[in-house]
Structure 1
Amino acid sequence: MAFGERLGHGVRGAAIGVAEAVPGISGGTIALVTGVYERVIASAGHVVSAIRYAASDLPRGRGGIRARQQLRQVHWEVVVPLLIGMLPGLLIAAKTLEPLLTDYPEQTRGLFLGLVLASVLVPVSMVGAPWRRKEIAALVLAAVGAFALTGLPQATLDPHPLIVLMAAAIAVCALVMPGVSGSFLLLTVGLYEPTITALNDRDFGYLAIFATGMVIGLSLFVKLLQWLLEEHRRMTLAVMSGALLGSLRALWPWQSDERTLHAPGDNILPITALFLVGIAVVTAMVVAERRRLRRAAQDLTEEAYETPQRH
């Protein structure tokens, strides 16, 4: 893989890291928009299988053949740059976006609303045409469910290690599920600020517990999602589309601390401008990714045509 492509995956990883720190935006959404989603899900599934085979086979003296076979199927050329990019993206977001959400909540949500709204077109287009009735029904039900979820009032939980572990296991599912924000789920249960504070203060005890919960959540969820994408692709993408649409409620600029929605009020011009900027940014990302895929397909076609000519 060329250096430029690796660098591109690093930038995608940074964008996913930023998204994971922002309530209302899913890292899975960014992965979907930038064209790495299915490779990441497939790779995570193979890693989970490798760990399971190693835990089962090695103690019984069967060796690690099955585990190595799974690891060879991981898209390391994509996963490694993504992970390298995610860490600085997450740290930068934790430092810079938290004050923006506090000092300029309406403007910030307006920008994010445009980002996520434009992102909906990605899974919708991936379903293809024509949409069947059951897929439309799944989209509507998922949208209603996500709308209701993002309207829940914020709770306050004591950051007990067991609670942190369970919250991380649930929230990390949002990393692989477009339309569901892990940070928003943490915000709903009152653990967003403690987690951001722990990240900024390098509270490694808290972060270790949180990371353990993430591993547990991924190991339980990612294989299910991988199976759904393989066996029920259209329906799964329809549900993702609905989840994205319903989650837009969390990003409506004019709402109270209790998440009651209000009609447009102050700062409507700058908020509208930021909303349009968000749409333009995602649209540019989608167009650039599709052009890259077209170029890659053309290169493969030309290479396949030239190979017989050489012989």
Structure 2
Amino acid sequence: MKQQKWANFIEELGESKYEELNEKHLKSIVKLPKEKMTFLELQHYLSNDFQVLFNEDSTRSKWHQKDQYLLIWCVVKLVEKRNIQYNESLQKGVFEYLSSFLGLSADFLLEKWMSLLKQSLKEMPWKQEEDEIMIELRKQYPNKGWTYIAKEFNRKTKNIRYQKQIRERYNNVINPNINKKPFTHQEKQLIMLKAYQLKKNWAGISKLMPGRTDNKIKNCYNSIVKKIAKKIHFDKANPKQEQLILEYIQQYNTYEPDELANQIDLDQKNQSLIKVEHVNENSNTSNNQHNISPFIPSLQPLPIIYGHYYQNLYQPQYIGYPIYFFKKAETRQL
């Protein structure tokens, strides 16, 4: 059955099956794997390795580069042949059709295709219709994961969206439980405290603040730290200085830039005064000691074994008056 479906697909493609993919155009749509195959190599891979590795008894979950290229090739050829837009591939039954000869579920193929797409929220603005569908799905399936919600969402809309896009759109923008009011003073204090204690775990902090999203909390934190860094001439991009700002906030119990800067400046001045006084006290003591203490050279004892030598070397030869005094006295007597 699979072989017949594949043969029908190849027949539908005609001579276009030998044409190479337009990689320059595709690079803006999907992430092309480095490993590529010609049509004959691809057909051989499908009939042998792919079918063996993805049979009904297989537990293989890893998606290799050849698997990626096979899926991309099939989607691109079918979309071009039937003149379908890529964002319409789900509604036009592309993945159901590919499932018939690849032997994998349409949902699995859709998930793999979505993981290869190069789309962003900016390229595809959200429509009100999409938001309404997402809200309805979240109400209908409150206990389902976002993988399931994403599949159902893509079935009902005309655009293919990533699971991550759908989750972030709902959690950060359209969730009816979101508190969109400005952060209160108490909330800001809690954010700065928990950012220090939980090491900026935004998801963990959002659980402590019902109605506040992790994205909004992160933005609030960055805004506060940026203002403080500017005030005290720090670089927010420097992780060590950012950590020091958090420590200052905990130490002085304030996140207000002006108040924090004044406290830091005051402490630094006090510390400087203490150091100067300490140095002056040491200096006075040292000078007094030098003024009242006589200079006493340090003399090392002479070793006994060299006593005679040192005695001859250092001890004076005459003790008392010099010898010439006695010689003069003798002369005078004579």
Q: Assess same fold via TM > 0.5.
A: no
Q: TM-score range by the shorter chain?
A: under 0.3
TM-score by length of 1: 0.20
TM-score by length of 2: 0.19
Could you say which structure has the larger radius of gyration? 2
